[in-house]
Structure 1
């Protein structure tokens, strides 16, 4: 397949009043320029240019910073449009399907202080996951009111698992490995493997992932090379790169001695193909949405590998495997190129923007020093946390590479040093103590108690890798440290926590009462289901009562209230605290406060940030539906 010039994008990334960044991936090297216009007058108000970064023979990325031409800032609450040119030729006007409502160019706006504020959030988008792809609902929302800035969403947070590198659909593998070779220009050799990964059969990578030390539950099509990781990002964002025809399962599944196993794989292949075709149908809408709303991203584990850094033993085993070290470095390099760089270019440009072009254009198979430098650069990264310039400000937490371990196999502290972490983010963001706060945590900080306690009971019996028990509360020391740090360092008037990961949606109103010297901490836990990975259906748990101290408090809400004593010998923190959780009901197609279907979260802040409405958009074969929870916020 001949590659188009524009491989992916444009995607609007970090955007504030002084700079708007546009990301693209292109086939050819060159200079990329972006111009910003006032949508109503057509006046050019900003521009920027940058050289592409080569990451392969036919893979070049650019993050173009647009800055104001007159004055120091861009206007607020004004519809803006932008153009992108590669070597002087437009690469946007050739894609009229990227625009809304008769506009000639993609558009965006920077919200001011006037409410309401519209925020979208989601996570967990597996291309062959079950159900409809709810990221396409973002396109529907923008298309409804592209010129009405009071109703149009202004920012999108993707809070993890944008790709499932450890669980790739069989039908997609031939196209993915071929695209990887086209992009990079070679079969990447990997330490410990005699056969380049591109020559491994479909559903034939179990041995390689075992050699790397990985513990994914679906390892048979695990990505290994940088080119493969890059190709999956492109396929997740651009349907033009997908195959026109899919080979039949009986032609691609190898002849196996065990005929029953072969039949089972063929059935799996056919099922995955059906789910992939749904995803492909949604890709034009998803591509248009990403071109028209500033988007902030972070990883969870599936961008790298399932269970990434889940325990100290896991981390040490993979770090000692030459193959494991290389694959993790490849995955993080792809994360930086396709997600991390655009989140905060000032913070994440160095040293990657210099290292990666050198590394990927060199004959690195013979340069062991460069290989070691590449691996060490990513393995030693302290944190990929950052703040997004929204109002309220958003702190986006890296809960994977900043972990701390209390024992070799016990649950980890998801944020190793919350005090230092939050202090750094607050200083960078100019956060003022007492201001409201948005906190993006891939997994919920305030989880649904019955499920989390059930996991805690089962984990010692079957092991954390099989259960994937990664709740904040799994390590009570780390959980309490975070809550105390939030209260001590920031004392926000209220905090809205945006999360995903658990594949079911719920809303909790949470209050933490720590030591008397600290103010109470008020959190709103807004958890969305998967964008496309329907799995666990939690509705049967919603009415559980006595077993988990869950009872009705006389209203329509179900409440969890409990008080915990901690032994002094095990804790250096206060030995007593209380927390109150209220599980909010939903108005909509279901009366259950929990939803296990695919959803996109839609948050509206209105009445001077005095009320928050969290809508969960469900996209089904019968049409779009919406479930709503409402919070009254403290002054």
Structure 2
């Protein structure tokens, strides 16, 4: 039996690792002497193998056996063996993570692929094959738009046309679980991507295109899209497949063991799709100002910590109390950030959407939110502008933006050397330094890497350069204050960028010294550094 997709190496700790696989049929999957039985979703089969008993600070080559037959590595593979590299006391004070967002797959159409340019993650995978394992990154962070459910490649559209039976569904967007399954296979099936996912611990969070462009922009947006006869099917398939393909692997073995939904799925004989429908509804609906499922998560990486924040599905809109996260989930995030900060040298906070935008653009989003909350024609026009211009980032959720900023300011009063917010989404890359009043020696940065592989429209470039202008920022700040914006607890300035084009970023720390590198593919496929920013030390 062969693997349909994977293996994907997910959460790795000192003595454990989680490996995700998709098989062609029900099976027993074994890795390094540990096994798991597949579960079924709509005639697709998956397993998370929890590998236990590993040694800290060690490297383990692994194979995947399905019903006793080796299925990975594939025969004749040109790639090095897949490995699990554990952390431990010897490496606790060192960290290297690569990150980025917005990775559109290769299309097979030369005109489109030439326009998209070289895939930065593909190029990084090629580099990795020639590097000693000891120099490989500790983790890969994918910060949104892992799949494009609403912008299909020509191949994906052809597949859709061949299977779509109902004209009540959109002709060029996926809707069903089966269609999402094909999309994940298409996007993660490239040999280079499949190999790098098999050998670097990978954390993921979604953004809008994993479901639909501008997903959860506002209450009017949700009200309008919910009128579409196929939208509930889309939510069920999109959130259900996200839970299977992306979310489960973010959890540690202990969290998986304590997760009621995962344990219910394992206990179901046969298709567990009905449970995923209920799960997706629970994740999507608002009850008492909160969502029924938390997708935010935490990884401990030696003396560094990653707290990944769901800034898409967690939004509270229907109640009229507009928030980026419900209060219960926000409290959870705050607790993870503040927990035992004396043991943390570098705090990484992941959010698919940037916390700090170019200042002028941030103020415009604040102005728009204030106007959209007002009744009458002014509010209607502001809502139309919000949806047309994609004004739905952290500053467009002002109370959440201020709470998020306050959380970071409080953490900066502690002992971390650096606090870095890692983001994507905006199709340009930059590093910005935030300055709070009286936060001691901790440095705070917004680090954005986007896209990994996508097209950057020409009008975007001058617009973002203009939005970083200090003179324009002073004008928009005065405008925002006149509109009713409070004073912000920090200022920020651009240290690098904006960089345009396909990019992969690396956060590297040793002791309390950290820096970030932004790299882009050259025509020969080699990556070259386009920016390097020292974050501390």
Native 8 Å contact 2:15 2:86 kept in 1: no
Q: In the alignment, is residue 106 of structure 1 matched against residue 82 of structure 2?
A: yes
The 2-side partners of 1:486 and 1:456 are apart by: 19
The 1-side partners of 2:139 and 2:218 are apart by: 34
Q: In the alignment, is residue 542 of structure 1 matched against residue 446 of structure 2?
A: no
Match of 1:167 in 2: 151
Match of 2:232 in 1: 325
Native 8 Å contact 1:497 1:524 kept in 2: yes
Match of 2:251 in 1: 344
Match of 1:75 in 2: 56
The 1-side partners of 2:436 and 2:494 are apart by: 15
- Of 58, 79, 84, the match for 2:64: 84
The 2-side partners of 1:548 and 1:421 are apart by: 37
Decide whether aligned partners of structure 1 residues 91 and 177 sit closer, same or farther in structure 2, where only a CA change above 3 A counts.
Answer: farther
Cα deviation, residue 469, structure 1 = 1.6
Q: In the alignment, is residue 530 of structure 1 matched against residue 463 of structure 2?
A: no
Q: Secondary structure at the match of 2:200?
A: coil
Match of 1:274 in 2: none
- Of 501, 523, 533, the match for 1:597: 501
Q: Secondary structure at the match of 1:334?
A: helix
The 2-side partners of 1:372 and 1:25 are apart by: 20
Cα deviation, residue 374, structure 1 = 5.2
Decide whether aligned partners of structure 1 residues 106 and 483 sit closer, same or farther in structure 2, where only a CA change above 3 A counts.
Answer: same
The 2-side partners of 1:324 and 1:98 are apart by: 42
Decide whether aligned partners of structure 1 residues 387 and 95 sit closer, same or farther in structure 2, where only a CA change above 3 A counts.
Answer: farther
Match of 1:496 in 2: 420
Task: Please list every run of 5 or more consecutive structure 2 residues that lacks an aligned counterpart in the other structure.
Answer: 286-291, 369-380
Q: Secondary structure at the match of 2:6?
A: strand
The 1-side partners of 2:10 and 2:358 are apart by: 32
- Of 438, 447, 468, the match for 2:390: 468
Native 8 Å contact 1:505 1:594 kept in 2: yes
The 2-side partners of 1:354 and 1:286 are apart by: 31
Cα deviation, residue 287, structure 1 = 1.3
1:57-100 Cα offsets, whole Å, 9 max, x none, are: 3x2111100000xxxx6221x33211211111111143452742
Decide whether aligned partners of structure 1 residues 8 and 613 sit closer, same or farther in structure 2, where only a CA change above 3 A counts.
Answer: same
1:516-560 Cα offsets, whole Å, 9 max, x none, are: 7x779742111112111121455535376464137xxxxxxxxx9
The 2-side partners of 1:548 and 1:290 are apart by: 42
The residue correspondences of 1:142-291 to structure 2 (distance < 5 A) are 142-147=128-133, 149=134, 151-175=135-159, 198-199=164-165, 208-209=169-170, 220-238=171-189, 283-291=190-198
Decide whether aligned partners of structure 1 residues 222 and 176 sit closer, same or farther in structure 2, where only a CA change above 3 A counts.
Answer: closer
Decide whether aligned partners of structure 1 residues 431 and 339 sit closer, same or farther in structure 2, where only a CA change above 3 A counts.
Answer: farther
- Of 496, 508, 514, the match for 2:432: 508
Larger radius of gyration: 1
Q: Which stretch of the first structure deviates more once superposed, 354-363 or 84-93?
A: 354-363
- Of 369, 379, 387, the match for 2:284: 379
The 1-side partners of 2:36 and 2:276 are apart by: 27
Decide whether aligned partners of structure 1 residues 157 and 17 sit closer, same or farther in structure 2, where only a CA change above 3 A counts.
Answer: same
Cα deviation, residue 610, structure 1 = 1.4
Cα deviation, residue 415, structure 1 = 2.7
Q: Which stretch of the first structure deviates more once superposed, 315-324 or 438-447?
A: 315-324
1:238-281 Cα offsets, whole Å, 9 max, x none, are: 1xxxxxxxxxxxxxxxxxxxxxxxxxxxxxxxxxxxxxxxxxxx
The 1-side partners of 2:360 and 2:388 are apart by: 19
Native 8 Å contact 1:32 1:52 kept in 2: yes
Decide whether aligned partners of structure 1 residues 65 and 208 sit closer, same or farther in structure 2, where only a CA change above 3 A counts.
Answer: same
Native 8 Å contact 2:366 2:480 kept in 1: no
Native 8 Å contact 2:99 2:504 kept in 1: yes
Native 8 Å contact 1:33 1:50 kept in 2: yes
Cα deviation, residue 407, structure 1 = 8.1
Decide whether aligned partners of structure 1 residues 359 and 171 sit closer, same or farther in structure 2, where only a CA change above 3 A counts.
Answer: farther
Q: Secondary structure at the match of 2:348?
A: strand
The 1-side partners of 2:413 and 2:158 are apart by: 52
The 2-side partners of 1:420 and 1:388 are apart by: 17
Q: Secondary structure at the match of 2:434?
A: strand
Cα deviation, residue 599, structure 1 = 0.8
The 2-side partners of 1:378 and 1:474 are apart by: 22
Q: In the alignment, is residue 20 of structure 1 matched against residue 28 of structure 2?
A: no
The 1-side partners of 2:219 and 2:273 are apart by: 34
Native 8 Å contact 1:9 1:23 kept in 2: yes
Native 8 Å contact 1:539 1:595 kept in 2: no
Native 8 Å contact 1:333 1:378 kept in 2: no
Q: Which stretch of the first structure deviates more once superposed, 596-605 or 165-174?
A: 165-174
TM-score by length of structure 1 reads 0.70
Match of 1:276 in 2: none
Native 8 Å contact 1:504 1:527 kept in 2: yes
The 2-side partners of 1:526 and 1:603 are apart by: 9
Native 8 Å contact 1:133 1:619 kept in 2: no
The 2-side partners of 1:55 and 1:363 are apart by: 5
Q: In the alignment, is residue 140 of structure 1 matched against residue 126 of structure 2?
A: yes
Q: Secondary structure at the match of 2:408?
A: helix
Q: Secondary structure at the match of 1:315?
A: helix
Match of 1:51 in 2: 37
Cα deviation, residue 296, structure 1 = 0.6
The 2-side partners of 1:11 and 1:529 are apart by: 22
Q: Which stretch of the first structure deviates more once superposed, 481-490 or 501-510?
A: 481-490
Decide whether aligned partners of structure 1 residues 521 and 142 sit closer, same or farther in structure 2, where only a CA change above 3 A counts.
Answer: same
The 1-side partners of 2:317 and 2:309 are apart by: 18
TM-score by length of structure 2 reads 0.82
CA RMSD of aligned residues (A): 3.5
Match of 1:62 in 2: 47
- Of 423, 448, 452, the match for 2:358: 448
Q: Secondary structure at the match of 1:108?
A: strand
Cα deviation, residue 230, structure 1 = 1.3
